[in-house]
Amino acid sequence: MATLTTTQTSPSLLGGVVIIGGTIIGAGMFSLPVVMSGAWFFWSMAVLIFTWFCMLHSGLMILEANLNYRIGSSFDTITKDLLGKGWNVVNGISIAFVLYILTYAYISASGSILHHTFAEMSLNVPARAAGFGFALLVAFVVWLSTKAVSRMTAIVLGAKVITFFLTFGSLLGHVQPATLFNVAESNASYAPYLLMTLPFCLASFGYHGNVPSLMKYYGKDPKTIVKCLVYGTLMALALYTIWLLATMGNIPRPEFIGIAEKGGNIDVLVQALSGVLNSRSLDLLLVVFSNFAVASSFLGVTLGLFDYLADLFGFDDSALGRFKTALLTFAPPVVGGLLFPNGFLYAIGYAGLAATIWAAIVPALLARASRKRFGSPKFRVWGGKPMIVLILLFGIGNALIHILSSFNLLPVYQ
């Protein structure tokens, strides 16, 4: 993927892969079948692969710039130095918005799925209370250390992969070709709904806040970090493909309209799959998988936000310093989760809009500025200027699509 010129002894590759993979493969994946139901499976896969390619390379561009700075430097330091205060303010707002709104989305999702889980055990736990309790648990893990997050994410991701294959192995066995190919709708149109899926795909490949965290974990070892990004994102792409196949092969296209009308939260989709399959064991596996999916994304996203805020405000790595950072990280989205517990689908969409700046436009500009100033001696993303232009156009295009969608100027499958 790129030219590497330095190697150093570093911790296990698996730790970094699970941080990236665990951050990406999470609650966001549950929005994909709902928002992609208009474009349906084959068109959606084309968009997903294109988004994976662009988001992988934008992450590599962040790494390229980050390697020229001290370990622990995050976006605030790098953007201010390379692009100036103006871009740093814009980028800082977009980073904070994306990470805070994703944290809120996962609090909303955790409350929803835990409420559904407890209901299966005949316990009535309000979604607000469940989300609040889960947020406190994640806050404690993130407060401990990056290593604690890595180990916990490894455990959660391992459990998630096991339950994923148990669940979707069964789901794939129930896939109906007639449903997947949408035979029932002879004059169906798909292409008009293609563009509006892009911001959701972008948000579903968000891991960029963890690139500086990986440098803290591995040091300036681009070879290992590149492998973490490549393997972690490929893992996500593979599981997303299986997920779309399993859902769109079991739930008829028109039924997704009703799922979207109910807010598109995780519990609604799980109930729809359970209703189609009518299997108690599969229902249980879906619930368990959903819990692990939320947990892994929650851990990864909040670690990225935690490290960004620590760098921004200059908090040290002591217990008190980490407590201050944890308070800033979790308090605002927890309040949002208590006030608005069902905003998951909307939050994921708006995260995609703001992430276009932070995860596409700014990384391309950072790579360009970094090459001009430093020559990128440690690592350079392949593709030269055309790759930078592609990532810039990808980001700008996503932003325009989301704005058009917000003003109801794009077709909606309903």
Mind listing the pLDDT tens digit for each residue in 36-48? Answer: 998 999 999 999 9
Ranked by mean pLDDT, the top range of 112-126, 202-216, 289-303 is 202-216
pLDDT interval class at 196 (50, 70, 90): confident
Q: What average pLDDT does range 376-401 have in this prediction?
A: 91
Q: What is the pLDDT of residue 5?
A: 45
Q: What is the pLDDT of residue 368?
A: 94
Kindly give, in sequence order, each residue whose CB lies less than 8 Å from that of residue 119, ignoring residues fewer than 6 positions away. none
**Per-residue pLDDT at 306 exceeds 80:** yes
Q: What tens digit of pLDDT does each residue of 249-282 get? A: 988 898 888 888 776 666 677 777 777 666 677 7
Higher-confidence residue of 294 and 7: namely 294
Q: What is the pLDDT of residue 3?
A: 45
**Per-residue pLDDT at 24 exceeds 50:** yes
Q: Tell me the whole-structure pTM to 2 decimals.
A: 0.80
Q: What average pLDDT does range 345-371 have in this prediction?
A: 84
Ranked by mean pLDDT, the top range of 53-62, 118-127, 203-212 is 53-62
Q: What tens digit of pLDDT does each residue of 69-89 get? A: 888 887 778 999 999 989 888
Domains of the chain, first to last: 10-406 (1.20.1740.10)
Which amino acid, residue 264?
G
Q: What average pLDDT does range 287-301 have in this prediction?
A: 79
pLDDT interval class at 27 (50, 70, 90): low
The rounded distance, in Å, linking the Cα atoms of 80 and 188 is 49
Least confident of 48-62, 195-209, 357-371: 195-209
pLDDT interval class at 2 (50, 70, 90): very low
**Per-residue pLDDT at 375 exceeds 90:** no
Q: What average pLDDT does range 309-338 have in this prediction?
A: 86
Q: What is the pLDDT of residue 204?
A: 86
Q: What average pLDDT does range 148-168 have in this prediction?
A: 79
Ranked by mean pLDDT, the top range of 18-22, 163-167, 175-179 is 175-179
Q: What is the pLDDT of residue 388?
A: 96
Q: What is the pLDDT of residue 10?
A: 53
The rounded distance, in Å, linking the Cα atoms of 392 and 374 is 21
The rounded distance, in Å, linking the Cα atoms of 307 and 96 is 11
Q: What average pLDDT does range 27-54 have in this prediction?
A: 89
Q: What average pLDDT does range 336-353 have in this prediction?
A: 73
Kindly give, in sequence order, each residue whose CB lies less than 8 Å from that of residue 355, ignoring residues fewer than 6 positions away. 94, 98, 202, 203, 206, 208
**Per-residue pLDDT at 384 exceeds 50:** yes
CB-CB contact of 207 with 233 (8 Å): yes
pLDDT interval class at 90 (50, 70, 90): confident
**Summary mean pLDDT of the chain:** 84
Least confident of 101-105, 299-303, 341-345: 341-345
pLDDT over 70, % of the chain: 93
**DSSP for 297-347, written as a single string:** HHHHHHHHHHHHHHHHHT--SSHHHHHHHHHHHHHHHHHHHHH-TT-HHHH
